[in-house]
Structure 1
Amino acid sequence: MIVFESKHVLHWSIWVLTLAALLPGCLSKSRSEAPTVVILGAASTKDLLEEIAAAAQKTLDSPTKIEISTGPSHALAQQILSGAPADIYVSANRRWAQAIVDADLASESIHWLANSIVVIVPADSPLQIDRLEDLTSDQVKRVAIAGENVPAGIYSKQALTYYQLWQPLSDSGKIIRGHDVRSTLAYAERGEVDAAIVYATDARLTDSVRVIARFAPASHSPIVYPLVRMRSGSDASEQIYQFFQGSEAQEIAQRYGFQALAFDPEKE
């Protein structure tokens, strides 16, 4: 019995010593792993966010992994409100950003960028569509806009209503809804619709479509992109948030066709 206990103690001691030897290595590995900053952004900002984040990453004080996920602004906001991890959120309208602020999940929020919406047609379209009124002609069978809860879809309906085109297009069954503005753009790129309404910045991304009309700013709510930093954000997320407001980020945004609303030359 004494021999058994001695062996048990010996085995236990060996296990403890082994664990003690491994633990510092495990802790060291854990501590060495780069923190992750999660950015959730409107579909229309995908390319922009990727380029700005890459530039921001080079300025950080320590190695940091940046994860970017884009999609419909309202869907991303719902994910955040439901507890999904996020450090920075970029919405294509003020409503969903305000929902995050109202839920007391944001530490900071600014109006960051502005945009506009345009009517596009496939670049090789044989149809004579040169102005807004042509959308109601018999030759036009399908007009794509983003989903009804998606900011681009909301702005599009407002603009079409302003020009008294929404009811005729809706009643004739011509309206086709895209999941988000990028899928709406893809419909036109592939020639699956005769026309589509997208952001001006989206139309600049491809040679497969051409712009045939632009909506007056008065025809819809101001297209504003708030930049929101979550309360759970790390020091790295604060640095990235500040970088997004600096001159380098502004230059990138303008190259994509956005208009900068918040700019501080000291935040670079």
Structure 2
Amino acid sequence: MRFVLSLLALLLIAGPAAAQERAPLVLAAASMQEALTDAADAWTKAGHERPRLSFAASSALARQIAAGGRADLFISADSDWMDDVAKRGLVVAGTRAVLVRNQLVVVSRPGLPRVVATKGAALGKLLGGGALAMADPDSVPAGKYGREALTRLGAWNVVAPRVVRAENVRAALALVERGAAPYGIVYATDARAATGVQVAGVFPPRSHAPIVYPIARLTAGESAAAEGFRRFLLSRAGQAILARRGFSTR
């Protein structure tokens, strides 16, 4: 009996400690790769277990969560996919917050004409017979923002036949980097992280919904350290790290 009681006591002590030591799993929009890696590096240097980071299109991550995939934190590139997860009861109440904001730009290979005006057929004329790389506008946030902006500016019907749909914004950027598409629509932070591309134009902020990245803890999470990392990302120190990669923290 004494042995059993001692074993139970050890389990009670080890249980919370084991949970605390488990590194949080973070599912994040593909556009956050460099910024979130920097933040994870800083968190680890401060003596914490390194967070596990998984990047993909917000749409794919939200579907993964809805299908029962276990993770501790979700960072979406738009509010819609976070809303979808929240409506399913998979977000911990009171933990959702806006982490960062972004801009939408047109990128191209160096030397190609810049997009002086994105209204009407201007972009269509530049494309000629070439392709316009975008994240899938039916589901991926970057593509949805892009289609909304082009529609409001009266250019979507002109460029739609030229659109090459990519699984996420980084895949769209890669098409331009490799020369498979002369132009592409990505976030400003993606353009900043890329090599061999130039910003050919910037979409007016009012041409699309504000680009916000919400963060929240997930109910399926098992890491006691997840809340600490979430708070760190939202802290002044964490926000400064993300801002260095071009994200707006206002």
Q: 1:117, 1:214 within 8 Å by CA — same for their partners in 2?
A: yes
Deviation at 1:65? 4.1
Q: With structure 1 as the length reference, what TM-score do the two structures score?
A: 0.79
Supply the AA of the counterpart residue of 1:122. Answer: R
Paired position in structure 2 for 1:11: none
Match for 1:36 among 9, 23, 27? Answer: 23
The residue aligned with 2:242 is: 253
1:140 Cα offset (Å):
4.9
* Aligned partner of 2:33 among 37, 42, 46: 46
Secondary structure in structure 1 of the residue aligned to 2:154: coil
The DSSP-based 3-state class of the residue aligned with 1:144 is strand
- How far the C-alpha of 1:215 sits from its partner, in A, is 0.7
Q: CA deviation at 1:176?
A: 0.8
Query: Distance between the aligned counterparts of 2:115 and 2:99, measured in 1?
Result: 33
Alignment match, 2:192: 204
- Three-state SS of the structure 1 residue aligned to 2:96 is strand
Q: Determine whether 1:180 maps to 2:179.
A: no
Supply the distance in 2 between the matched residues of 1:100 and 1:222 (Cα, whole angstroms). Answer: 20
**Which of 45, 68, 71 is 1:86 aligned to?**
71
**Aligned counterpart for 2:96 among listed residues 106, 109, 117:** 109
Q: 1:130 aligns with which of 90, 102, 115?
A: 115
List per-residue Cα deviations over 1:171-197 (Å, max 9, x = no partner). Answer: xx2111111000101111111111100
One-letter code aligned to 2:107: I
Which residue number corresponds to residue 108 of structure 2? 121
Q: For the residues of structure 2 that align with 1:232 and 1:174, how far apart are their CA atoms?
A: 41
Q: Deviations over 1:94-119 (max 9, x none)?
A: 01111222222211101111101001
3-state DSSP class of the match of 2:142? helix
8 Å Cα contact 1:35/1:65 also seen in 2: no
Q: 2:140 — aligned with what?
A: 150
How many residues were matched structurally? 228
CA distance in 2, matches of 1:220, 1:129: 20
> Paired residue for 1:166, among 138, 149, 156?
156
Find out whether 1:220 has 2:208 as its counterpart: yes
**C-alpha deviations, 1:65-122, integer Å up to 9, x for none?**
4211000101101111111111010000001111222222211101111101001111
Instruction: Tell me if the contact between 1:146 and 1:178 (Cα under 8 Å) persists in the aligned partners.
Output: yes
Identity of aligned residues (%): 33
User: Partners of 1:101 and 1:254 in 2: how far apart?
Assistant: 27
Q: 1: CA distance between counterparts of 2:113 and 2:202?
A: 17
Report the TM-score when normalising by structure 2.
Answer: 0.85
Query: Is the 1:41–1:90 Cα contact (8 Å) retained in structure 2?
Result: yes
Q: Give the distance between the partners of 2:115 and 2:49, measured in 1 at CA.
A: 48
SS in 2 for 1:154: helix
2-structure distance, mates of 1:153, 1:130 = 18
CA RMSD between the two structures: 2.1
Instruction: Give the aligned residue type for 1:178.
Output: A
Higher CA-based Rg? 1
Structure 2 unmatched runs, 5+: 1-9
Q: 1:58 aligns with which of 45, 52, 55?
A: 45
Paired residue for 2:4? none
Aligned 8 A contact 2:43 2:50 in 1: no
| Alpha-carbon distance in 1 for matches of 2:51, 2:244 | 22
Q: Which has the higher contact order (CA 8 A, sep 6+)?
A: 2
